[in-house]
Amino acid sequence: MTNDDIIILESHTLFDKLPKEIIFNIFNYLSCNDIIYTFFLFNSRLNHLLLEHEHYLNNLELPITNLNYWQNILSIIGSKIKTLKISTIDLSLSLDLFPNIKSIIITSLYGLSNRSLQTLLASKQFQILHTFKIKSKNYLKPRSSLFCDNFEHYLFTKIFNEENLLEIFEYLTLTTLFSRKILNNLQINSSLLSLTLYLYEFIYIFSVLQYTPNLIYLNVKTTLSDTHKKQNECININNIKLKQLYLTFVMKHSTRLQNVDQQLDFLHLISDIKLFSSTLICLSMNFVDLNINDIDEFPLNGFTLQHQLLESMIELKQFYL
C-alpha cells in the first residue's frame, strides 16, 4: 500500500496556520504514537511534514487498539520505525510491518507469551536487530522450573548466535542457565558489545564472556558466593576487552528467607575483578542489598581497597562503591 492509496482528510483549522517550528515544538511533547495517530492523516501538510522529518516516526509502542487503522498507516511508514516497544504479552501486529527495525524493547510485566516470543526470535527482523531488551524482572515466575530451563536455553541460543547482529542485550530476570556444567548450542557472538543480566552467582560472568569476545559494557546483578569457585579455564583472559563493569550484589533468595548469615568471599571477588585490570576504565560495585553486620567482613575500604584492587587498574578513570 502506498501513500496515494490512503485517504488523507483535508481538514482546515487554526492549527494549519501555525508555522512549522511551533508544530514541531508541540510534537516534542507527544509520543510517536500520538503524533502518527492524530496527525499523519489529518491533512497533506502535516503528512508531508512528518515524512520529511522522520525522527518523529522512529519510536513506536506497538498499538493494541484500532488495529485496522494502524495496519493501514504502518503499511506506509512501517519502514521508518527504528525502535518498537511492546507493552503487552502478545504481538498485536505482524513484525513484517517493520522491515527496518533496529531495536525491540519488551516492557510488559511478564514479558511475551511463549508463542509471541518464539515468533519474534524466529523472525527475519530479529536477525537485523542491534538492540533487544526484556525489561521484565518477573518473566518466568508464573511458569514451571522445567519450562524456565527450556525457555532460557532457547532464548540464549538465539542471543549467543553468530547469525544475528545484536550489539546490545538486556535481560533483567534471574537466569541460572550459566550455572550448568555443559551449555549446548551456544555460539560466539562477536557483535555483542553490551550486556545487562541477572546472574545466579558472580563467577558465571566468565561463562558469559566465553561467548562475547568483543564485549565492552557489562552490567550484572548477582550474588556473591560464600565459597570460591574456579573461573572457566576455557576463557583466554588476555582476549577480554571489557571497559565498563557495573556490579550490583544481592543476597541469595534462600539465604534471605532463612535469615542465615553468609561469610561472603570478598577477597576472591577482588582477585576475579583484577583479571580485567588492564582494560577497565569504569568499575562500579554496589553492596547495599547485602546483609553485612560486621565491618571486618567488608575489606573494600580505605588503604586495603586501594592496595588490593585499584592500584592494578592502570586504565581506570571512574570508580563507584
Exposed / middle / buried, residue 154 (Cβ in 10 Å: 0-12, 13-18, 19+): middle
Predicted local confidence at residue 242, as pLDDT: 94
103 strand-pairing partners? 83, 131
Predicted local confidence at residue 235, as pLDDT: 64
Q: Which of 67, 77, 76, 66 is nearest to 5 (CA)?
A: 76
- Grid cell for residue 6: 490512503
Instruction: Report the C-alpha gap between 311 and 278 in whole angstroms.
Output: 11
Q: Which of 70, 15, 10 is nearest to 42 (CA)?
A: 10
Name the E strands within 65-118.
83-86, 103-106
Per-residue pLDDT of the chain (321 residues; tens, 9 = 90+): 555 555 555 556 677 788 999 999 999 999 999 999 999 988 888 999 999 999 999 999 999 999 999 999 999 999 999 999 999 999 999 999 999 999 999 999 888 888 899 999 999 999 999 999 999 887 765 566 656 668 888 899 999 999 899 999 999 999 988 887 778 889 999 999 999 999 998 989 999 999 999 999 999 999 877 655 565 555 667 778 899 999 999 887 654 444 444 555 677 788 888 888 889 999 998 888 876 665 555 556 666 676 777 788 888 999 888
List alpha helices for the chain, DSSP H.
20-27, 32-39, 44-52, 67-77, 114-122, 124-127, 145-159, 205-209, 253-258, 266-273, 302-308
Q: Judge contact between 189 and 160, C-beta under 8 A.
A: yes
Instruction: Report the C-alpha gap between 206 and 208 in whole angstroms.
Output: 5
Q: Judge contact between 221 and 199, C-beta under 8 A.
A: yes
Looking only at Cα atoms, what is the longest distance across the chain? 74
Instruction: Note the pTM of the prediction, 2 decimals.
Output: 0.87
Q: Which of 87, 164, 169 is nearest to 122 (CA)?
A: 164
Predicted local confidence at residue 11, as pLDDT: 56
The sheet that has 318-320: what strands, in order across it?
Answer: 59-61, 83-86, 103-106, 131-134, 168-175, 194-199, 217-223, 244-250, 282-286, 318-320
Q: Judge contact between 277 and 312, C-beta under 8 A.
A: yes
Predicted local confidence at residue 277, as pLDDT: 83
Predicted local confidence at residue 259, as pLDDT: 44
Instruction: Report the C-alpha gap between 167 and 46 in whole angstroms.
Output: 35
Predicted local confidence at residue 302, as pLDDT: 61
Predicted local confidence at residue 257, as pLDDT: 42
* Three-state DSSP class for residue 283: strand
Predicted local confidence at residue 8, as pLDDT: 53
- Which residue carries 553490551 as its cell? 194
Predicted local confidence at residue 261, as pLDDT: 45
